[in-house]
Amino acid sequence: MADFLSGYSIQSWLQSCPQGYLENTDFGHPAGEKEPEELLDNETFREDAIRTTVQLVVGERAALAASSGLINAAPDVGSKMFLATQTLDEARHVEIFTQRLLDLGVKKDELESVINTYANANLVKFAEVLLEKVDKQDFIAGVVGQNIVLEGMAFSVFEMMHATNEAANPKFAHTLTGTIADERRHVGFGENRIGSLIKENPKRKPEIQKMQQEMTYHMLATFADSFKANSDVVEQAQDQASPDIKPAVYHGVDLNRADATEMEAVLADTVLGEFKTRLGRIGLEYLSPAA
Amino acid sequence: MTDAIDPHALSEEDFHAEVHSFQFWLEAVEGYLAGTEFGFDAGQTDETFTLPELSDLITTLCNYCVAEKTALEASSGMIRFAPSPDAAIFLSTQVADEGRHLEVFVHRLKMLGIEDPWQEIDNRANRSLLQFKDRLLEFVDQQDWEAAIFVQNVLLEAMEFTVFKAHASSADPITSAILAGVVKDERRHMGFGENDLGRKLRQAPHTRTRLNQINKELNPLVLSTFSEIAKELKLNTHQGLSISSNYLATIDRLGFST
């Protein structure tokens, strides 16, 4: 375990993240990049971007509370060190997505009310299930909830958003590139560190699987709400797009041509597939919310 | 980003958002950590220590680890009840700083031949410092923001700042380089504590009485820790008193009587 944790040291993090892929960035993207005018000038598109970004802030705030809250529950110093870097990663994500809200025209003194207005109730419940484990200082359940379930969901959502925005909104796509790199590291830690702890504590499996089931339910409900809310926007954006627009392919689906239902399906399938694989690697069985 | 922004031209609220941000932290640490490995230039070679010198340095570093682990646990525990998103983000940068300090001191212990640093830290930890730690973590567990930020970002950080600065001036080159980087972080942490409490005290002056009581309760523990460290660092009486008086002057400057 010691060798694997040395790869997650603060020294490694400093070299790969602040002195690596974040060097010369400004809130996660190259300085000077701006949100596209077509988005800022269209009230429907702008509101949809605000709604989407609010969900990212809510998710990242939960991740910040969870990763910092798990430091004192960590059974070894190597895990504490990794969680210290993750805490700062999550704080950075909160900051860059909050900055995006400001870039989209949300006034600073209205930030909290905008976040409260648009925060998806199911996403809030998803976070509550996780933070309940963190409050109990339950390290194993907390890391599974945080680094496998939440981070696994974030990873896929960010990749999908990146595919959608790569051509249409390079500023946002570049912001997502750094967060995807961070999430990959977080998921890697979860898989590496928790597998051995699950093996040592097999009796914990049913309770942790139940948490995953509950979090998955709220996650799928969040996806359903979100895609339902923006189905008209998706249609409008596709109508206005240039016929020559390059395909934005995500797991075989062209997001520039797919409707909201297809998008929801490909995202849910991808995340659930990842859950099954990652949970299997640490010795847990995926429980469907429908079961 | 900072090319275009003069922090002094910002409103108070925007100033705090700016200096508490990850972006600000990133630019600050890039300046003094770039090119270092575990806090010093990787090309530096160690000097030879006599056995008593080595033992004293190990004891001192073990106690630095106790202080930094305390700071890591306290600052991470405070994020959940931080009074604003900006304060939570600042504390997150502090969590990474404290984790780094712990890592560089543990690495230094390993360089000095300690195979199991955590066993050594347990053996050599100063009792007064451990009592100080317990009291701070009690405030954190109680989610008492004012007391926790006072004990963590004012008392503990001022304590570390004073000792590390004094030690850096007389230490071997590698320990000195490590301490110089750590001191720069501590200055930032103290600034946050002073700033946050300064505003609170303006709004609620009665808070000062309570914090003064906490200060008086913890002061003997701090001074006892200094006394032990002064012995380990082989400081003469004048130098030892100077550490204590510098610390007390810092606390006094913030308006807390000792």
Cβ contacts of A10 on chain B, cutoff 8 Å: 96, 99-100, 103
pLDDT at site A19: 64
What residues of chain A, 30 to 59, have a C-beta less than 8 Å from chain B? 31
Q: Where are the domains of chain B?
A: 52-252
Two tokens at B124?
Answer: 């050599």
Tokens of A37: 């005018």
Interface check for A69 against chain B (CB to CB < 8 A): the answer is yes
Q: Which of A63, A213, A33, A221 is nearest to A127 (CA)?
A: A63
State yes or no: pLDDT of A171 exceeds 60: yes
CB contacts under 8 A, B 181-240 vs A, are: none
Contact at 8 Å (CB) between A57 and A99? no
- For residue A140, name the pLDDT band (cuts at 50, 70, 90): very high
Predicted TM-score of the model (pTM)? 0.89
Pairwise CB contact (< 8 Å): B88 & A18 = no
Nearest CA in chain B to A33: B1
**For every one of its 258 residues, what pLDDT tens digit does chain B have, with 9 covering 90 and above?**
334 445 455 566 666 666 667 677 777 776 667 778 888 888 888 989 999 999 999 999 999 999 999 999 999 999 999 998 888 998 998 999 999 999 999 999 999 999 999 999 999 999 999 999 999 999 999 999 999 999 999 999 989 999 999 899 889 999 999 999 999 888 888 888 888 888 788 788 788 889 999 999 999 999 999 988 888 888 888 888 888 888 888 888 777 766
Which CATH number fits the domain B52-252, given the four candidates 3.40.50.10490, 1.20.1260.10, 3.20.20.80, 1.10.287.3510?
1.20.1260.10
Residue B178 at interface with chain A, using a CB cutoff of 8 Å: no
Task: Check A90 against B100: CB less than 8 A apart.
Answer: no
| Residue A39 C-alpha, separation from nearest chain B C-alpha, in angstroms | 23
Contacts with A94 from chain B: Cβ below 8 Å? 85, 88-89
Residue type, position A82, single letter: F
**Which chain B residues touch A81 with a CB distance below 8 Å?**
99, 102-103
pLDDT tens profile A86-122: 999 999 999 999 999 999 999 999 999 999 999 999 9
Chain B residues with beta carbon closer than 8 angstroms to that of A9: 103
Min Cα separation B37/chain A (Å): 7
* Per-residue model confidence (pLDDT) at position B204: 81
DSSP A73-140: T-SSHHHHHHHHHHHHHHHHHHHHHHHHHHHTT--GGGHHHHHHHH--HHHHHHHHHHHHHHHTT-HH
Whether residue A247 is predicted with pLDDT greater than 70 in this model: the reply is yes
- How far is it, in rounded angstroms, from Cα A125 to Cα A215? 8
What's the average model confidence in pLDDT over A28-32? 88
**Mean pLDDT computed over every residue of chain A:** 90
Q: Determine contact: A95 vs chain B, CB below 8 A.
A: yes
The neighbouring-strand residues paired with A30 are A25
- Quick: pLDDT tens for A96-105: 999 999 999 9
pLDDT (0 to 100) of residue A250? 94
pLDDT higher than 60, residue A253: yes
Which residue in chain B has the smallest CA separation from A88?
A: B92
Between A15 and B80, whose confidence is greater? Answer: B80
Q: State residue B41 phi and psi, 5-degree precision.
A: -70, 125
Is pLDDT of A30 > 60?
Answer: yes
Optimal mutation site among A29, A60, A68, interface B, most CBs of chain B within 10 A? A68
Q: Which two tokens stand for residue B126?
A: 């100063």
Do the chains contact at B30 and A23, CB–CB below 8 Å? yes
Set of chain A residues whose Cβ sits within 8 Å of the Cβ of B100: 10-11, 14, 84
Please check whether residue B168 is in contact with residue B183, taking contact to mean a CB–CB distance below 8 angstroms.
yes
- Residue B249 has which token pair? 């002057």
Q: Among partner residues B38, B85, B103, which is closest to A81 by beta-carbon distance?
A: B103
Q: How far apart are CA B19 and CA A209, in angstroms?
A: 42
Taking the C-alpha atoms of residue A117 and residue A113, their distance in angstroms, rounded to an integer, is: 6
C-alpha to C-alpha distance for B236 and A202, rounded to whole angstroms:
57
Compute φ and ψ for A8, nearest 5 degrees: -110, 25
Closest-CA residue of chain B to A72:
B73
| Contact between A70 and A142 (Cβ < 8 Å) | yes
Asked if the A2-281 domain carries CATH number 3.40.50.970, the reply is no
Q: What is the pLDDT of residue B4?
A: 44
pLDDT at A142: 96
